[in-house]
Structure 1
Amino acid sequence: MHQIADLISIFERTFYQTYNTRLIKGDSEPVYLPATDYVLYHQVVFAHGFYASALHEIAHWLVAGNERRLSEDYGYWYCPDGRDKQQQADFENVEVKPQAIEWLLSTAAGFNFNVSVDNLNGEQTCRFDFQQRVHQRVLTLIKNGFNSRTESLLKALSHFYNTPWPLTAQQFNWQYPKELCNGV
């Protein structure tokens, strides 16, 4: 049901003409590459053809403003897997909004969403604490509205996948499983 070619096509129809940006299936790590003299369009490169990776990288693109979209990987700090407790807290703080948007995109596409703490070899934190923060941001975005790029893509995904539009808080009914985070 969720073909990466469909997502690439939806992104292209929604953004290429206006933003000179394409969604690109990568062979390794995801990256955002602004246009150059050799590649005349911006590239949102996602990992290994994974649908979830594409949605996540799109979410970062939707968060990034005009200036950020002129820098490789939007000029953001990134500390790879193996982060200590403070580095992981910093990572999660930066990831709340993109992952909230990814959750919205996933829902509009009828695709299952899972938060990612992305730190398998580092300090372990309670994934559900982070998910609770992401969930709260989802509800805030639904209440306050989306930027125009996010709304355009949400509508396009809802239309293509025949999912309810507009998105409502009731679609994001999630309960925090407190008992699963004891001792972390």
Structure 2
Amino acid sequence: MNHSSNDLIMLFNDLFRETHRTVLVKGSGEPEYIPAEGTHGLAQVVFAHGYYASALHEISHWCIAGAHRRTLHDYGYWYCPDGRTAEQQRAFEQVEVKPQALEWLFATAAGSRFHISLDNLSGDGGANERTFRRNVCRQAEHYLATGLPRRAAAFAAALKRFYGTTDSWLANWRQDLQRIAPPGFEPNHSRETETV
């Protein structure tokens, strides 16, 4: 299956340009969120270097951000780049659980491969990679059981229609859980629903 970030730009902008005055933009540097300027401006979700996975990840952050955060550059979050201390890495991982869980569900809806990212190659490493993986898995299961945030649900539905995964995506996610989950993680499939 061909995965082009241009397809994500089209799907995102079709859904959210008019309703939320927000567009997805291919950037040439680091990803960022730029709020709209003035009443007629458009907010920009900028992803890195045209990478498909970067676009899915940045869309995930946008889908979680509340109305106030969407008025702030980079949603008002502090970001420390690669090379974080163990304490900085723990803080990073706490805010990355929900977006990475959404990114995983989006990737499955698109039929693409998701990778957990601790994003700290030259620092002290992950505070606890196994715990982080478990938390991302649990958050994804929570979304499956209770439903995705409204904008995320709309985007996931668009991905499933576009890539033709509507009937297979949940089974594909369950299969992928075996690759992503840490040893000993017990999925709770009984709670999962097709609310997404």
TM-score (norm 1): 0.90
Q: Partner residue of 2:137?
A: 135
Distance 1:68 1:38, change over 3 A: closer
Gaps of 5+ in 1: 179-184
Q: Contact 1:115/1:127 (CA < 8 Å) preserved in 2?
A: no
CA distance in 2, matches of 1:143, 1:169: 14
Distance 1:166 1:40, change over 3 A: farther
Q: Partner residue of 1:93?
A: 94
Greater Cα offset, 9-18 or 35-44: 35-44
Sequence identity percentage: 47
Q: Contact 2:31/2:46 (CA < 8 Å) preserved in 1?
A: yes
Q: Partner residue of 1:176?
A: 182
1:147 pairs, out of 146, 149, 158, with: 149
Amino acid at match of 1:141: Y
Q: CA deviation at 1:169?
A: 7.3
Counterparts of 1:26-175 in structure 2, within 5 Å, are 26-37=27-38, 40-125=41-126, 126-164=128-166, 168=170, 171-172=173-174, 173-174=177-178, 175=181
Calculate the aligned-residue CA RMSD, in Å. 1.9
Amino acid at match of 2:64: V
Q: Partner residue of 2:3?
A: 2
TM-score (norm 2): 0.85
Q: CA deviation at 1:177?
A: 3.6
CA distance in 2, matches of 1:13, 1:85: 40
Q: Contact 1:139/1:169 (CA < 8 Å) preserved in 2?
A: no
3-state SS of paired residue (2:46):
strand
Q: CA deviation at 1:12?
A: 0.8
Q: Contact 1:24/1:45 (CA < 8 Å) preserved in 2?
A: yes
CA distance in 2, matches of 1:48, 1:128: 29
Q: CA deviation at 1:79?
A: 1.4
Greater Cα offset, 160-169 or 46-55: 160-169
Q: CA deviation at 1:9?
A: 0.3
Q: Contact 2:69/2:76 (CA < 8 Å) preserved in 1?
A: yes
- Structure 1 runs of 4+ aligned residues shifted over 2 Å read 125-129, 164-175
Gaps of 5+ in 2: 185-196
CA distance in 1, matches of 2:6, 2:29: 18
Residue deviations 1:26-56 (CA, integer Å, cap 9, x gap): 0000000011159810000000000000000
Distance 1:165 1:70, change over 3 A: farther
Q: CA deviation at 1:167?
A: 5.4
Q: CA deviation at 1:176?
A: 1.7
Greater Cα offset, 78-87 or 51-60: 78-87
